[in-house]
Structure 1
Amino acid sequence: MAAPPPYRHTARRHLRDTVITAGRDLAIDRGWDAVRMADVAARVGVSRQTLYNEFTNKAGLGEAIAHREIDRFMDGVREALSTHGGDVRAAVHAAVTFVLTQAGTDPLVKAVLNSARGTDALLPYLTTRADLALAAAVTVLREWADTHLPRVPPDEVAVGAESLARLVVSHIVLPTAPVDNTADTLAELAQRFLDPPRA
């Protein structure tokens, strides 16, 4: 079977982006639980069937929204890490500061965390289904470590990266200190684990 023409691929990608944006905006306005596929379709100007063809169901659209948000956050983490090269403390401090600051001001994250009784169906992407965010964070941290920390064994990087990512997610869901204090603490932990004193 011949590949679809490029314009069809571009049009489909544009439709996906537009629908994801509409779903995100509606989730911010009224909470994800109150969003219906019909609402999203009406905002975009397409049929509900078009949405179902593209995302299967509302859960599929929710996952697409979560993926895009995670990718956006990871772009910032990647930039923060790379700015400081192999300086573990500075790089991790910058990355943690970026994530916690963005999460604290991002309207979608705030809407999800402030949903009544924590019932919002997007909340699991920060709790019981945080595997998507964790996997993305571990990938970015391992890419950075592969370039800047070649002397640290890969298995140690993997454990350190996942532990750090879990701690950051927990501070998004339940912050216990100012961002800078949390970034200081996690950067120090990262330095001890990923850049221990040489014998």
Structure 2
Amino acid sequence: MSAEPPSKTNSRARVREALVSAARELTVKHGWERVRMADVAQTAGVSRQTLYNEFDSRTGLAEALAVREIQTFVSGVRLHLSAHGTDPRAAAYAAIRFALEDADRNPLVRAILTSGRGGADELLPYLTTRSDIVLDAAGAVIREWAAEHLPQVTAPVVDVAADVVVRLTVSHIVLPRLPAAETADVLADVFVRLLT
């Protein structure tokens, strides 16, 4: 059995990306609960059958949308951690503050939180009960950074610190209590204490 030719693979990736972008656009405008699969297909300029060939259900599309947004978000976290090298406090503060501020100004996150508070929403669990995608992706970036910049800290210690700080950061994204700078300050201290 031969693999798909590169041109077909690239075309399929472009279609998939267009569908996820259309879903994001419609979710920001109307809230996920009002997004219909037919509207996503129309916005992306493809048939409904093409949409269902890529995502067999609305849940599959929701997951793809969440995964893409998380990957973009985690790339920013990686940049902020790396910018501070071996200073765990400064790195944690910068990454956490970025995460909080980026989530606050991100129209998709706002749409998810707003619609989620008003009723059932398939996207809200990616920040709450199904946050394993966020935890895994952000935790991997923290472990990668620590392995390079803090080789003296054991992997199990880094794992616990990463898990705790990511969970707390997500919690503050969902239910913010203080300005981002203050929250980042507190959580950076927690992260450093967990590493020692």
Give per-residue Cα distances to partners, 1:118-154, cap 9 Å, x unaligned: 4221111001111110111110000001111111110
CA drift of 1:107 comes to 0.3
1:111-122 equivalent positions in 2, closer than 5 A: 111-115=111-115, 117-122=118-123
- 1:10 is aligned to 2:10: yes
The answer to whether the 8 A contact 1:112-1:118 is kept is: no
Task: Determine the structure 1 residue equivalent to 2:43.
Answer: 43
- Secondary structure at 2:85's aligned position in 1? coil
**Partner Cα distance (1:56, 1:86) in 2:** 45
The answer to whether the 8 A contact 1:89-1:187 is kept is: yes
1:168-187 equivalent positions in 2, closer than 5 A: 168-187=169-188
Stretches (4+) displaced over 4 A: none
- Secondary structure at 1:114's aligned position in 2? helix
Task: Determine the structure 1 residue equivalent to 2:157.
Answer: 156
- Secondary structure at 1:3's aligned position in 2? coil
**Partner Cα distance (1:178, 1:45) in 2:** 41
TM-score (norm 1): 0.96
Report how many aligned residue pairs link the two structures. 195
**Partner Cα distance (1:114, 1:155) in 2:** 36
The answer to whether the 8 A contact 1:76-1:98 is kept is: yes
Give per-residue Cα distances to partners, 1:151-185, cap 9 Å, x unaligned: 11101110110000000000000001010000100
Q: 1:148 to 1:118 in 2, by over 3 A?
A: farther
CA drift of 1:21 comes to 0.3
Equivalent AA in structure 1 for residue 114 of structure 2: N
- 1:59 is aligned to 2:59: yes
Give unmatched runs, 5+ long, in structure 2: none
Task: Determine the structure 2 residue equivalent to 1:105.
Answer: 105
Give per-residue Cα distances to partners, 1:76-122, cap 9 Å, x unaligned: 00000000001000000000011000000000000111115242211
The answer to whether the 8 A contact 2:126-2:133 is kept is: yes
- Identical positions, percent: 53
TM-score (norm 2): 0.97
